[in-house]
Amino acid sequence: AIAFSPPPFFVSPSGSSCLPVTVSTNRHMVEVRENTDAVLSCMFQTEKEQNPRIEWKKKGKDVSFVYFDGHFKGPFEGRASIEGATVTLKKVTQEDAGEYRCEISAPLDAVSLGETNVTLKVLVPPHTPSCDIPSGAVTGSLSYCAAGTSRASPPPPTPGSRTTSPSALPATPNATYVINAHSGNTEFTSVSKEDSGRYSCLASNGVGLPKMCDPKHMTIEDVNV
């Protein structure tokens, strides 16, 4: 048998049953936090070829090379390493997220090409959201508190984790507000004086600590007649 070190690939012993080149990964989905390292595993076995060609590509609008002809390319040059066919990307950012493909070419094998895909997801904790909270309104009017965007991955998914969070909101079935599940905004259909209070927006996605904007006071007054 012919053995190699490090062991991510090996060649079947002479005289064994013929097998095509096979390529696999131990993790098709890799999730890591921003600014940490990501390991994209690729393992393969060849029939005869002792020097297979290893390539990594990243899928996007166009397919771009990550590793080709023994070198890392483009934005991966100088910030990635390879052991066997397994690639480690250093200090990943959201720009690195996406689908990667490991390709192994073994010209001497009966089936000379094999591949496997690995998807990289880069997790980013929320930043402090911006909040647009009116300082005042008159009773009976339509008003809303806007929850601004917060850079995060995954994005805060539900109004329960990304919502305007006023301590003064009345916890009653007759509350005059609804929370928009898509935008996270709190929308008042007809404000009353009881809606006066301090409001803020909380962004949370399960990655890192939640972030909240500074609370602002909204005063509801009766219409002057």
| pLDDT tens digits, one per residue of 113-159 | 999 999 999 999 888 888 888 888 888 777 766 666 667 787 765 43
CATH no. of 22-123 = 2.60.40.10
For residue 115 the two structure tokens come to 């591949």
Give residues with Cβ within 8 angstroms of 21, minimum separation 6: 44, 45, 46, 47, 49, 52, 104, 105, 106, 109, 111, 112, 113, 114
CATH class of 125-155+172-224: mainly beta
The residues of the chain that CATH labels 2.60.40.10 are 22-123, 125-155+172-224
pTM above 0.75, yes or no: no
Q: What is the pLDDT of residues 31-75, one digit of tens each?
A: 999 999 999 999 999 888 889 999 999 998 889 999 999 999 999
Q: Report DSSP state, residue 142.
A: -
DSSP per residue, 209-225: --EEPPPEEEEEEPPP-
Number of Cβ within 10 Å of residue 129's Cβ equals 23
